[in-house]
Each structure stands twice: as structure tokens, then as C-alpha cells.
Structure 1
Amino acid sequence: MAAVQPTILATSGGYRQGSRTRIEFDSLVDYAVELSGVTGRAPRIAHIGTAGGDQRWWAAEIDQAARIAGFDLSHLNLFTMPNVEDPEAYLLEQDVVWVNGGSVVNLLAVWRAHGLDRILKKVWESGVILAGVSAGSICWFKGGVTDSFGPGLRPVTNSLGFLPFHNGVHFDSELRRRPTVHKLVADGTLGETHCTDDGVGLVYRGTELVEVVSSVKNKAAFRVTAGAGESVDAVAIEERLESRFLG
């Protein structure tokens, strides 16, 4: 299956506590599958865990979540070498590519070393749904705010740039992120920045933001842009974008 238009679901979520397992997929991952339009068979999902170093214990957790959800999930590992002979062919066979969180800076470096930046652009244009959480959200934009370099938040401005905006994640749960985004947008380091509370996802058709969805009630997304203040200094303007609760 392929989406009608290139589609990205960029989130600050995707998991919930399981009843018999540590995690299960929540409605954000279910919605990524719905966006793909797959019917009549188990959805094929490729999990990419580069940002966390392809940790096998996490892959096992994801495998259990996929079994409960009824998904045909497999992994594209790049450590210590790619685990499939042809990553492009493998990804083009999927309905959804789900990228997990971790270090977006390390993710970008490893992906570029393996040519995955070029491959993923082709996969996106072919109609496979690109989705992910945290680092797996920021990677699709021009950049955003990251703790990849250390505890202090810093900008990253060399992401894949499929979407012509910047991205902020965990906007409500990590208190330093909002003021850092505001500062970097106001001083021009970041351009228009689309941010998500935990449990919220942004849906893009092509490069247009078309929907805000959430697996948690009363959560939102935010558009942060630069504007003129009362003095000559620029300020950041934040616009709340209400979400549709997925249940």
C-alpha cells in the first residue's frame, strides 16, 4: 500500500504501559498504520532504532508491542552493519517506517554515512508513511532543539529537511524546551517551529501541516514564529494548535 501523498506523522509519543508487557503501541502508531491505508493483511512496519544505538533489548520490547497489535514489524539495524542487504528495497516494501527516539545528532551522522538520507526521501515520495517519536520526529524537519550534545539543550539545524520547518518535542514534560525554542526562534537560529506535547502527533501531507492528533486528552501542538516586540528586539509568538483525540 502507498499513501496518496507523501505523508509524515511526527510525534512526541507512540507508546503506553502494557498490561502484560512493559510497553504497547498507542493510538498514534495505530494512526500511522491507518494513514497508510493498508487492509486485508497485517501492516508491515519497519522500526529504525539508530538514535538509540540499535539496542537489542529495546527491539525485543517493540517486538512484543507489535505482536499484541497484530503488526508485521521488523527492524532496520545499522550497528554494527546493516542487517539487510538492500535497505532501500526493504524500506520500499513497508507500509510504515517508525523511527525511535534517542540522539538525533548521532542518527543523522550514521544515516548519512549509509546513504539512508537519500533512501528515506525516495521512500517518503513513494508513499510509505514516515513516522517517529522525539529524535524520530525532529529528523524529518530542518532541525530543532536537542539534548544530543549534553544536558544543556542546543539547536540542530542539519536534519533531513523533508519538512521546511523546525521541530520541538516533549513541549510540556521537559520544562527547558519551551523557553529554548522561543529564544532560538526569536534570535533567528530556528525558523517557524512546530512543537508537540507528549502524546501529540503532527500530520503532514507533502509539506503541509494538515492535522494535529493526540493519544491523550487535552494535549496540543504549538506553532512558534518570530515577531517584532515593542523594542527592536524580536520575540517569539506561540500559537496553540488544538488536537483531535484519537482515543
Structure 2
Amino acid sequence: MPAEQPTILATSGGYKPGLRTRLEFDRLAHHAVDLSGVSGRAPRVTHVGTASGDQRWFNAEMDQAARLAGFDFSHLNLFTMPNHADPEAHLLEQDVVWVNGGSVVNLLAVWRAHGLDGILHRAWQRGVVLAGVSAGSICWFQGGTTDSFGPELRAVTNGLGFLPYANGVHYDSEERRRPLVHQLVADGSLGETHCTDDGVGLVYHGTDLVEAVAEVRGKGAYIVTAQNADDGGAAASELRLEPRFLG
């Protein structure tokens, strides 16, 4: 069952510690399923772990979390070769594509080498909900901030661009994220940038931001735009959005 319109859920969350497993899917991941509109059967969710090199041990932990959640769960691995003969056919059968975190720079390079950028765009247009955390959030935008190059955060500006904004993740938990976003927006390296505290997600229908949602109370989302400073130079302005708690 496809979503009624192209839908993206870009997050800084989606997991929580498990009771008998290391992790479980939290409210943001379940909200991605809700956005798909699936009913009457187990939701088909595929995990794409390219950003962390398709680590099989993590895939196994995701499988445990998916069993607890009641998902019809699968993985699209690209290392060392695609594990599906026809990745496009596999993705078009899904209700949700969930992209895990890691190196967004490596993710983008590998996806483009395999033509996954075009495949994911077609899936999005067909109503498959695209969702993910951290690198799995930034990838849908024009760019954002990343530690893919090393410990010092840098800009990445070659995202897939499905959404015509930049993206800032882990906005409240990594102290260098906010000032770098402001700097990059002020100097024009990034355009309008949509940011999430840990535990917050942003819902887009088409390219329109329609809602901020949260699995943790008290967290925020933010829109950062450029403005003229009092001295005539460049500055950045930040608008806080209050998310709807998914409780």
C-alpha cells in the first residue's frame, strides 16, 4: 500500500534500548509505518545500512527489533554486492525504506555507483515512505553537516536533493552542530536548513514540511535561514518548531 503522496520522515532518532534485546524501534520508526497507511497485514520495511558498511551484526540486531515490532523486515545490502538481483523491484515492494546512520558521504557515493539515487526517487514518487536517522536523514536533502571526513564537522553539499533544503541532525547532543549550521547558512554554503534534536523527526509531503514529531518530550526542531546582520554582514536566524509528541 503506497502512501497517498510522496513522503519523507527525516529524523535524529528511531531507536531505544530494548528489554531483552540491545535495541528496539522507537516511536519515530513506528511513525514511518503509520505514514505509509498500511493496514491489514504486517508492514514491509527494508533497512538500508550502506552508511555503516552493511554490518551484518547490526542487521541481526535490527532483525530482533523488527520481530518485536511485528514488521515484515528485510535488508538491502550493497557490500560486497547487492543482495537482491533487482534492488528496484525490492524497494518498490516496500511500505517503508529505513536508512541507518554512519557516513553520509560514503553512502551517497555508493548509492550513486549502484544507481540507487534514481531508484529511491522513483520509489518516493510511487508512495514508498523514505525515512531514516542521521546520515539516513541528511541524504534526502541538498546537504548538511557531517563528520564523514573526520572528527571536525564539515559541510556536505551533494545530497540527493529530493528536499530543497539542508539538514542538521543531533542538534542538541553534539555541541558543534548548531554553530556550524549557523555559520554555513550565514555564508551561503547551505541554504535554508531544517534541524532536529535527538528524538525528533520532520515529516514532508512532497517537498513541503508539514509537521515536526517527537518520541522524546521537550525536544525541538528548527529552521535556520540567512539574514542581514546589524553591521551589514551575514548572519543566521533560527526558528524553533514545537514537535507533536508521538505518545
For Structure 1 versus Structure 2, the TM-score category normalised by the shorter chain is over 0.9
In the alignment, what sits opposite 2:154? 154
Alignment partners' CA distance in 2, 1:121 and 1:150: 29
TM-score (norm: length of structure 2): 1.00
Alignment partners' CA distance in 2, 1:185 and 1:73: 38
Alignment partners' CA distance in 2, 1:73 and 1:144: 29
The residue type equivalent to 2:89 in the other structure is A
Deviation at 1:233, TM superposition (A): 1.1
TM-superposition CA deviations, 1:201-242 (whole Å, max 9, x none): 000000000000000001110000000011121101000000
Deviation at 1:109, TM superposition (A): 0.2
Secondary structure in 1 matching 2:63: helix
1:202 aligns with 2:168: no
TM-superposition CA deviations, 1:9-68 (whole Å, max 9, x none): 000000000011000000101100000000011000010000000000100110000000
TM-superposition CA deviations, 1:105-142 (whole Å, max 9, x none): 00000000000000000000000000000000000000
Alignment partners' CA distance in 2, 1:229 and 1:183: 13
Deviation at 1:198, TM superposition (A): 0.2
In the alignment, what sits opposite 1:7? 7
The residue type equivalent to 1:27 in the other structure is R
In the alignment, what sits opposite 1:212? 212
The residue type equivalent to 1:50 in the other structure is T
1:80 aligns with 2:61: no
In the alignment, what sits opposite 2:163? 163
Q: Which 4+ residue blocks in structure 1 deviate beyond 3 angstroms?
A: none
Alignment partners' CA distance in 2, 1:161 and 1:46: 21
Q: Note the residue ranges of structure 2 that are not aligned, 5 or more in a row.
A: none
Deviation at 1:76, TM superposition (A): 0.1
Alignment partners' CA distance in 2, 1:98 and 1:206: 18
In the alignment, what sits opposite 2:63? 63
The residue type equivalent to 1:109 in the other structure is A
1:240 aligns with 2:240: yes
The residue type equivalent to 1:225 in the other structure is T
In the alignment, what sits opposite 2:131? 131
The residue type equivalent to 1:243 in the other structure is P
In the alignment, what sits opposite 1:184? 184
Alignment partners' CA distance in 2, 1:22 and 1:4: 34
TM-score (norm: length of structure 1): 1.00
Secondary structure in 1 matching 2:184: helix
Alignment partners' CA distance in 1, 2:197 and 2:65: 23
1:229 aligns with 2:232: no
Matches within 5 A, 1:8-157: 8-157=8-157
Secondary structure in 2 matching 1:79: coil
Deviation at 1:157, TM superposition (A): 0.4
Secondary structure in 2 matching 1:117: helix
